[in-house]
Amino acid sequence: MFNYQRAISNYKDIIRGEDMMNKEKMIAEFEKMFGYKDEVSVYFAPGRVNLIGEHTDYNGGHVFPCALTLGIYGAVRKRMDNKIRFYSLNMPEVGMIETSLEEFVYQEEASWTNYPKGVFWSFIKNGALGENQKGIDMLIYGDIPKGSGLSSSAALEVLTGIIIKDLYHLTELSMTEVALLGQYAENNYNGMNCGIMDQFASAMGKEGHAIFLDTNTLAYEYAPIVLEKEQIIITNSNVKHTLVDSAYNARRKQCEEALEKLKKVVDIHSLGELSIEDFEKNKDVIEDEATRKRAKHAVYENQRTIQAMAALKAGEIEVFGRLMNESHVSLRDDYEVSSEEVDTLVDIAWKLEGVLGSRITGAGFGGCTVSIVKKEAVENFIQTMVTAYKEKTGFDAECYIVNSGDSARKL
């Protein structure tokens, strides 16, 4: 039987962040693996949860993520040669992976290393690293649940970015540029055509705040998350369907096709520039029904995100929750990136007393939901979500009580 009281206690520990893994522990683990501990530096980059604004970032729309206290830790030291050695405490079975600053090869059997390697490649490709540089030894540990949709890959990319920025003394490089170089790596080295949201949230997060980001211009505003009577809870379906990358890229391609059709009748450069009224007036120029539905989601979701920001600033948490619910329906029916398991989690949540809003978060096809729950209803929420989900699907759900955290940093 799932002990939800213990779960609440454990997740309160997670909220404290560095209680679970800290600088001293990382250095000790680094010494075990690499045989020395002098001049070792430790860094942290957070994962993120997106409260609303899903699949809008690559459509020039708005997003509303916040960084988490969960994330990826990295202990590193520069070497005297050009070798780069990687080791993950989460995947010891992979062993140590070695490459160099002159050799970057995508490896299926050591897939996690493709993210930090991609960032090194991105820095070099974009002329940010400089010449005749030395390599590093790098040990990582992550407490983001695997396959949860909380952006462990982006956190690892931003972690690598701030390590490079610090160790190679790239003082002129901004954190926004670190995020962009991480996105470039994911797009062009790892072949995932993501937008900027995940990397930006990890690089630019602020404790107690969400980020209202216009992905078309990268203009952003920090919005205080004032939840005196509510709690943000992430529920992990523990299901991640295959072919997620290809399905994600297919959705992006459909949006690009819809944009090209709309450009013939409306003067726009992105779907995020369209109002709902303009979309409805011109949508028939998109002949293919599925492609039209993808564009509809991008336009409507962008407007929902703008409304949600206004609602949060006004303290209208119930309105924010309703917009979250509408977001899930759109992601399920128009963008078609949900799954039976995630829909089950959302359906259970919607029926519970004290739940103001619940939706899928992340790229989709499994992963997590994010819910806003009244504090007095949290224990019942966790107990019911776990037991009812198990009964309906046979899978074990996990609930994480989370707070927003700070950006990537050196510890």
CATH code, 378: 3.30.70.890
354 within domain boundaries: yes
CATH number at residue 192: 3.30.230.10
Locate 131 and state its tokens: 């010449």
Q: How many percent of the chain have pLDDT more than 70?
A: 93
Query: Are residue 151 and residue 283 in the same domain, yes or no?
Result: no
Domain residues for 68?
4-225
Domain closes at, from 201, 225, 249: 225
Residue range 44-48: mean pLDDT, rounded: 95
How high is the pLDDT of residue 197? 94
pLDDT-derived band at 20 (thresholds 50, 70, 90) equals low
Block residue for tokens 């890959």: 153
What's residue 105's pLDDT? 77
Q: Is the pLDDT higher at 324 or at 148? A: 324
Say whether both 253 and 111 belong to one domain.
Answer: no
Same domain, 217 and 107: yes
For residues 300 and 350, state if they share a domain.
Answer: yes
pLDDT at 248: 85
Give the pLDDT mean for 317-341: 97
**192 and 318 share one domain:** no
Same domain, 281 and 163: no
Of the ranges 6-20, 103-117, 139-153, 343-357, the best mean pLDDT one: 343-357
The structural domain count of the chain equals: 2
The catalytic position among 137, 198, 214, 334 is 198
**Residue 3 confidence class, pLDDT cut points 50, 70, 90:** very low
Q: Would you call 127 exposed, middle or buried from its count of C-beta atoms within 10 A (0-12, 13-18, 19+)?
A: exposed
Residues 240 and 156 both lie in one domain:
no
pLDDT, tens digit (0-9, with 9 covering 90-100), for 131-166 = 878 999 999 999 887 666 677 899 999 999 999 999
Burial 221-237 (b: 16+ CB within 10 A, else e): eebebebeebbbbbbbb
- Concerning whether 198 is annotated as a catalytic residue, the answer is yes
> Same structural domain for residues 108 and 239?
no
27 plus 138 within the same structural domain: yes
> What was the pLDDT predicted at 114?
93
pLDDT score of 200: 97
The CA-based dihedral angle spanning residues 348, 349, 352, 353, taken in that order and rounded to the nearest 10 degrees = 180
For the beta sheet containing 62-63, the strands, ordered from the edge strand earlier in sequence to the opposite edge, are 62-63, 209-214, 219-224
Q: What is the per-residue pLDDT for 243?
A: 57
Same domain? 303 vs 387 = yes
Both 82 and 181 in one domain: the answer is yes
pLDDT class for 242, splitting at 50, 70, 90? Answer: low
279 contacts: CB under 8 Å, gap ≥ 6:
262, 295, 296, 299, 300
Which among 191, 225, 259 is the end of a domain? 225
Beta strands in 122-185 (DSSP E): 136-142
Do residues 237 and 353 share a domain?
Answer: yes
What's the whole-number mean pLDDT along residues 112-118?
Answer: 94
